[in-house]
Amino acid sequence: MNGIKRRFFGILGRRLQGPKKGRKTIQLTLDKRQKFIIAVIALSIVLFIAQFQFGASGLLGPLILSVLTGIFLWWAIKGDMKSNANSSVFILPFFYSLAFGLFYFLVPARFLSRILLTGLYAFGLYSLFLSQNIFVVGSIRTIALLSGARIVSFVITLVSFFLLTNIIFTFHLSIFPLIGVIFLFTYLLMYQSVWSYTLQKTVVSLPLWILALTICIVEVAVMLWFWPSNPTVIALFLTGIFYTVVGLSHVWFERRLFRGVLWEYLWVGVVVFFVLILFTSWGK
């Protein structure tokens, strides 16, 4: 009887102590791609319901979406950020979500159009997350995907710049608020785009370089404020100028600014200039 009691209390004691140290426990872990997918799905849902929750004139929804984009990106790449913390990787995701969040209110309130825009946002956001992750890793060691990530990032930068510029001119702001807003997002988007070709934490001449180029684009935007054309054409022209200026900066840092490459970028500026002239309402 005493032996049975000792075995019973021995088993009970082991149960209360929990599993032994050598016993394996199941833990749920997510890799970066799975975190990116979760983030894209969650942010796409937020974008889709922002119109119904905050109204057509609300700015709170796009701001929340932009902040959440940065939080989700940090959650996915925080392991690599410990050894190479750089806030530049958060600039483009923030403005990309802000551009789509604001442009979402300008789209006709049709279910199909909003589904298509949300799908486009999700595809671009996932590609953007992958490219920003490559930049973080590429600043530590050389990887083969760096060139492709730069192309994807530059395309998304152009899309974000076009949408933001279109929105700003659609709002018909007065001249001084327009200068301030365009200067802010132009400088930050250009800084991030040029930084992706240097991947250095500190470049002494980079802020001054970007400042000079930003002032040039802002001066063009001020002239276009007086130009008798619609916001989409103006935004297209400014995006073409932005593409030419930033693209030439890229090839300058890569040390391949040859005559043929120079003309490829200059022709884009010429084409968008003729588009601007063609669609200008001279009679008004």
70-74, 85-89, 146-150, 192-196: range with lowest mean pLDDT: 85-89
pLDDT for res 54? 60
Half-sphere CA count of 107, side-chain side, radius 13 A? 20
Q: What is the pLDDT of residue 94?
A: 95
Residue 44 has pLDDT above 50, yes or no: yes
On the question of pLDDT at 30 being above 80, the answer is no
Distance between CA 189 and CA 93 in Å, rounded? 10
187-202 mean pLDDT: 82
Residue 25 pLDDT > 50: no
Residue 48: band (very low, low, confident or very high) from pLDDT cuts 50, 70, 90: confident
For residues 70 and 141, which has the higher predicted lDDT (pLDDT)?
A: 70
Cα separation, 95 vs 52, whole angstroms? 22
Evaluate if residue 24 carries a pLDDT over 70: no
Residue 105 has pLDDT above 90, yes or no: no
Whether pLDDT at 53 is above 80 = no
Of 198, 261, 273, 267, which Cα lies nearest the Cα of 229? 273
Domain spans, the chain? 29-143, 160-284
Question: Minimum mean pLDDT among 18-32, 79-93, 132-146, 176-190: which range?
Answer: 18-32
Six-digit token pair at 211? Answer: 């400042």
What number is the average pLDDT over the span 9-38?
62
Query: Mean pLDDT lowest for which of 84-88, 106-110, 161-165, 241-245?
Result: 84-88
Residues 70, 93: contact at Cβ < 8 Å?
A: yes
Which tokens hold the place of 78? 């925080």
Phi, psi of 26 (to 5 degrees): -85, 125
**What's the mean pLDDT in 237-246?**
93
Give the pair of three-digit tokens for residue 69: 């984009």
pLDDT higher than 80, residue 253? no
* 8 A C-beta contact, residue 32 and residue 133: yes
pLDDT at 284 over 80: no
The pLDDT mean for the chain works out to 82
pLDDT band at 211 (very low <50, low <70, confident <90, very high): very high
Helix axes 175-198, 91-103, angle to 10 degrees: 140
Letter string b/e over residues 238-254, b meaning 16 or more CB atoms within 10 A of that residue's CB:
bbbbbbbbbbbbbbebe
Question: What pLDDT score does 134 carry?
Answer: 87
The crossing angle, in degrees rounded to 10, of helices 206-225 and 146-170 is 30
Check whether 178 has a pLDDT greater than 80.
yes
Taking the alpha carbons at both ends of the chain, their separation in whole angstroms is 107
- Among 185, 163, 213, 179, CA closest to 91: 185
- R_g of the chain computed on alpha carbons: 25
Question: How high is the pLDDT of residue 202?
Answer: 55
The alpha-helical segments, DSSP class H, found in 171-230 are: 175-198, 206-225
Using CA atoms, how far apart are residues 164 and 21, in angstroms rounded to an integer? 56
- What is the rounded CA–CA span in Å between residue 275 and residue 280? 9
Question: What's the pTM value of the predicted model, to 2 decimals?
Answer: 0.84
Q: pLDDT category, 279, cuts 50, 70, 90?
A: confident
**Calpha distance 159→127 (Å, rounded):** 13
